[in-house]
Structure 1
Amino acid sequence: MNTSSLGRLLIVDDEIELLNSLADKLARQGYETVRFSSPHEALNALAGRAFDLLLTDLMMPGMDGITLLQAARKIEPDLAGIVMTGQATVQTAVDAMKSGAADYILKPFKLNVILPVLARALELRRLRLENLQLRETVGIYELCNAIAFTLDHQTLLNKVIDAAMQQCEAEEASIMLPTDKGDELRVAVIRGDGRAHLVGERVPLEHGIAGWVTRHREPLTLMGEVRDPRFSPVQARSDIRCAISMPMLVGGKLVGVLNVNSTNRRQSSTMGQVKSLGILANTGASALESARLHLAVLRAEEQYRSIFENASEGILQSSPDGRVQIANPAMAGILGYDSPGDLIAGVRDLGSQVYQNGQDREEVKRLVEEHGQVQNIELRMVRKDGGRIWVSLNGRAIRNSQGKTLRYESTIIDITRRKFAEESLRSANEALEQRVRERTAELEAANKELEAFSYSVSHDLRAPLRAIDGYARIVISDFGPSLPDEAQDYLRDVLRGAQQMSRLVDDLLGFSRLSRQPLRKQPVDTLKMVQKCLEELKPVVAERPVEIRIGDLAPCQADPNLLKQVWFNLLSNAFKYTGKRNPAVIEIGCQSDSLGSTYFVKDNGAGFDMRYVHKLFGVFQRLHRAEDYEGTGVGLAIVQRIVQRHLGRVWAEAEPDRGATFFFFLPSLGSNSLESSDIEKNQ
């Protein structure tokens, strides 16, 4: 009822004077009156404004009062009606009541008769509205009862939308839910003729009425065709007379949007109806959110249960006094029980039944109480059949708000095989270390004997070699011109043999010293060292013209005296077997990375067959024809020994008559944790 007056009355009568007189009198009594002489004009006014009561003449041209009242009740179902007539009969009263009239009055009017009739009719309208509000309240109550007994998401959607349609007496309704990404709304459930196919349709939040409601979190009531660009529908419809879009909110979170459309209503919904629909929407939103959270909990529980049941680690929950509360199948299997239930029933005290040493559990408890948790504690446990196993345990304490320990949670891994393997490996390592020590002692003794032997041989050979060399030179110098050419050639061969034998003695002596000579590593400019070696080899180069190509050579950490011997031996070897070819070429280069540098000397000389490369770095091994061989047979062995002492390695690649390439790798400083002594002990 209108609160600014006793009521808003729509008065219709084709007798103008009577119409105006009645309207003026009622206005003076406190009623708001709107008067029309045409029934059709009155219906148009009723479609645009809200009235409490229709007071209409019975007999009018074009439309009688009963027909007018019936048409008006279609527009506003709760409208009260009174019929005015000068020809009252029983049938007239019956027809008026059937059309929805609250009463009728006779002409000519008497104010003291009209006023009580108006009061009764308006009271009847008030009671109807209260009944409607009660029906809405009952609808919300019934919805609450319905959703109290289900957490099924789709069932809740159906109950909410059905309650909304019933409450608003609407012909269409839908509920749209945000998608997972939150940038669209999805039609989850819909009602209305021919609209079922729209289920699942998606609408971007930037478009449509529901999108606006989602962005602004405000309800929206629209009448007739929407022409406001802010609320532009995705698909414009001219048949909708009244539409309400209501945000479904829970604690500020938007759960969905409830849309209710009426194709018959001509007037806007009242504030009470909108508020009632909002209560219903938020009640439904709370139920939907509870269902979502319940489903999330169920999924989390299922996921946890799956992890718990299928975990390869044993999972155990125990009370402070040692009783098993929860265990997974893996835990039961580790301890030799048929099932978690068997384990829980069979173990009354972990300390005395499961821990091999009961004090171990007390120590674990002490550490957990002190630090809150423990990790990777290795200890021994006892299986159901009495077998002993090793386990690795992680555990933590679960405490209440007062800090009291409620229970312990542990994860346990069976490491018995690993412990046995470690024990076997430890025994094998001890045996190996003992063997290495014995072998090292043997090698040291052999090296000492070799060194002593080398000194002895050197001393015994140098005197006759000096005599042979000296006498040969004297004969060549004093008697050479008088000797036959063949005799002179023999003497020169003797002199070369003595010199080669002298070099061999020096090489053998140097080789024997390598294992005992300490390394004195320092930064080495490799390019300068190579250039110095080439200077010393100039006499050889002069006799045998060779093209030398030098690339980038990275510096290194090495013993300069020993490294120079490596370069000298490799370069000397290359000159020996390259200078006989034409054109003769020697390439010197390097490739480096984070691990170290690989140096190489490449020639295009005689080469060798790779089938015999394993013999290349041995003492007195020859891969060339005797007539091509000019060395002592120790040079490459010395190269390998020096490189190995620097924690590196040496290798070669070649083809017969197509040259050879010798490589040696020196690690960067810090790239290898082994000490040189570790290498030497195993050589």
Structure 2
Amino acid sequence: MDSQDSLRAALVSELESLYKTVNQLTRSDSVPDTQLQLLRGLVSLSQFAAHQVQPSGSSQSTDLQTLQRELQLLKAENTAYHKQLQWLKNHIALSRATTGKLMLKATLKQTLDTAVEITQADTGSIFLLDEQQIVTESILARSGTTEEERTMLVGSVLERGLAGWVCRHQSAVSIGDTALDERWINLPEQPYKVRSALCVPLLRDQQVYGILTLTHPETRHFTLQNSELMLAIADQMALLLESMHLSRANRDLQERLAHSQDYVRHLMKTPLIGTGLLQDNRFVYVNAKLAQLFDYPRSELLKLPSIASLIAYEDRDRVMAAIEQCLQGKHSLFELTFRICLKRGQVVNVMAQGITTEYHGQLAIATLLDEVD
């Protein structure tokens, strides 16, 4: 086997190693769906690349040095991709062992360490932002900083530095020489030298969840490959942060819903005011006070196919429309004054307040009614 054939075999071997590693991880049930997109992309990339370097016949002539460069580049890329895969494995392990803010800080620290190692950066930082672009969490590779110093550093770079520019423009930036770029600012008493920088937004659906910044004391340190790999890591981090954000929002919503349901159950038990539960435009629960207000037995109110017949004709469309909007989830509450028809034929004015809740797993409206002059 000549040198070219040996190099081709080495190239294919490297690609097959990457393919097997990624493919094995994508088949793991422990990987969240949000992380599989990148991994499957790597599989497709490695499959395509392996096909490209397969020998196509003895007539094909390839420069030996070109193949050697390709092999070295592929080995470097393979190492970087393996580090990304290890990052995902570590995150899965972290998600099993930790929760909440502890998990977030551990993930940020792990991500920053991985980014610094892949790019051979000297220093780095990650900080997270909320919807108002206020810093909620930060990790700095620079050691020995106090909380006050950390707040000052982060505030300075967000207000007038490179990170602020990246956040506003939602675009990654690689600076080859910071001395020639006004977007980079050197901070007072800065103990480290920065001549090149790479700054990447953690971006998802036009929302910047955070900023990753890497620096090095030499000019033109960061390569195009570094930028592409950091964009891939930033995309992974943004997916995770979005997932955590949605999970937290869902948890808060569930807590508010549980509190609302407790409040509704308390209201339903009060004997001082008429209360009822509406579902599908009919009563599924009424208390004694509400039955007394309508001058109906409770059993008859519960058998009515719709409450529309209880509402004065002139107010019926307005009231039923408000109820329908709540039952469709367009509004969570209503407050109306209208007239109701009593069983004995009289018409009286009432004030009704309603708030959406759940009853047997479906949307319902807890309603309070009281007679008004």
TM-score by length of 2: 0.53
The CA deviation string for residues 376-399 of structure 1, in whole angstroms up to 9 with x for no partner, is 76989xxxxxxxxxx98766999x
Deviation at 1:270, TM superposition (A): 1.7
1:128 is matched with: 72
The CA deviation string for residues 83-128 of structure 1, in whole angstroms up to 9 with x for no partner, is xxxxxxxxxxxxxxxxxxxxxxxxxxxxxxxxx9x937x6455323
Confirm whether residue 259 of structure 1 aligns to residue 190 of structure 2. no
- Cα distance 1:146–1:303, how it changes in 2: closer, same or farther (>3 A)? farther
Work out which of the two has the higher radius of gyration on C-alpha atoms and give 1 or 2.
1
1:170 is matched with: 121
2:199 alignment partner AA: S
1:80-479 superposed matches below 5 A: 119=64, 123-147=67-91, 149=95, 152=100, 154-155=104-105, 156-178=107-129, 181-182=132-133, 188-195=138-145, 197=147, 198-201=149-152, 202-203=154-155, 205-223=158-176, 225-235=178-188, 239-263=193-217, 267-311=220-264, 312-314=266-268, 356-363=297-304, 365-367=306-308, 371-372=320-321, 373=323, 407=362, 409-413=364-368
Q: Which has the higher contact order (CA 8 A, sep 6+)?
A: 2
SS in 1 for 2:124: strand
Aligned counterparts of 1:295 and 1:211: Cα–Cα separation in 2: 26
1:540-579 superposed matches below 5 A: none
- Cα distance 1:267–1:225, how it changes in 2: closer, same or farther (>3 A)? closer
Q: Can you give the 5+ residue segments of structure 2 that lack an aligned partner in the other structure?
A: 1-61, 269-274, 289-295, 310-315, 325-335, 344-349
The CA deviation string for residues 413-461 of structure 1, in whole angstroms up to 9 with x for no partner, is 486xx89xx9xxxxxxxxxxxxxxxxxxxxxxxxxxxxxxxxxxxxxxx
Aligned counterparts of 1:207 and 1:176: Cα–Cα separation in 2: 16
SS in 2 for 1:192: coil
- Cα distance 1:142–1:393, how it changes in 2: closer, same or farther (>3 A)? farther
Aligned counterparts of 1:303 and 1:219: Cα–Cα separation in 2: 38
Deviation at 1:178, TM superposition (A): 3.4
2:142 alignment partner AA: G
1:45 is matched with: none
Q: Answer whether contact 1:187 1:200 (CA < 8 A) is retained.
A: no
Q: How many residues matched?
A: 258
Q: Answer whether contact 2:129 2:135 (CA < 8 A) is retained.
A: yes
Deviation at 1:321, TM superposition (A): 12
SS in 2 for 1:157: helix
Aligned counterparts of 1:304 and 1:275: Cα–Cα separation in 2: 43
2:201 alignment partner AA: P
Deviation at 1:259, TM superposition (A): 0.7
Aligned counterparts of 1:379 and 1:301: Cα–Cα separation in 2: 39
- Cα distance 1:241–1:119, how it changes in 2: closer, same or farther (>3 A)? farther
SS in 2 for 1:308: helix
Aligned counterparts of 2:64 and 2:131: Cα–Cα separation in 1: 56
Q: Answer whether contact 1:378 1:393 (CA < 8 A) is retained.
A: no
1:119 alignment partner AA: L
Aligned counterparts of 1:296 and 1:231: Cα–Cα separation in 2: 35
- Cα distance 1:378–1:195, how it changes in 2: closer, same or farther (>3 A)? farther
Aligned counterparts of 1:309 and 1:396: Cα–Cα separation in 2: 12
1:258 alignment partner AA: L
The CA deviation string for residues 26-58 of structure 1, in whole angstroms up to 9 with x for no partner, is xxxxxxxxxxxxxxxxxxxxxxxxxxxxxxxxx
Aligned counterparts of 1:279 and 1:310: Cα–Cα separation in 2: 46
Deviation at 1:244, TM superposition (A): 1.0
Q: Can you give the 5+ residue segments of structure 1 that lack an aligned partner in the other structure?
A: 1-115, 336-354, 381-390, 399-405, 423-683
Deviation at 1:360, TM superposition (A): 1.9
The CA deviation string for residues 584-616 of structure 1, in whole angstroms up to 9 with x for no partner, is xxxxxxxxxxxxxxxxxxxxxxxxxxxxxxxxx
The CA deviation string for residues 527-546 of structure 1, in whole angstroms up to 9 with x for no partner, is xxxxxxxxxxxxxxxxxxxx
- What RMSD over aligned residues (CA atoms) do the two structures have, in Å? 4.6
Aligned counterparts of 1:302 and 1:396: Cα–Cα separation in 2: 16
Aligned sequence identity (%): 17
2:47 is matched with: none
TM-score by length of 1: 0.32
Q: Answer whether contact 1:378 1:392 (CA < 8 A) is retained.
A: no
The CA deviation string for residues 177-223 of structure 1, in whole angstroms up to 9 with x for no partner, is 336643x6566112233346544444254411211222222222234
- Cα distance 1:397–1:218, how it changes in 2: closer, same or farther (>3 A)? closer
Aligned counterparts of 1:133 and 1:292: Cα–Cα separation in 2: 32
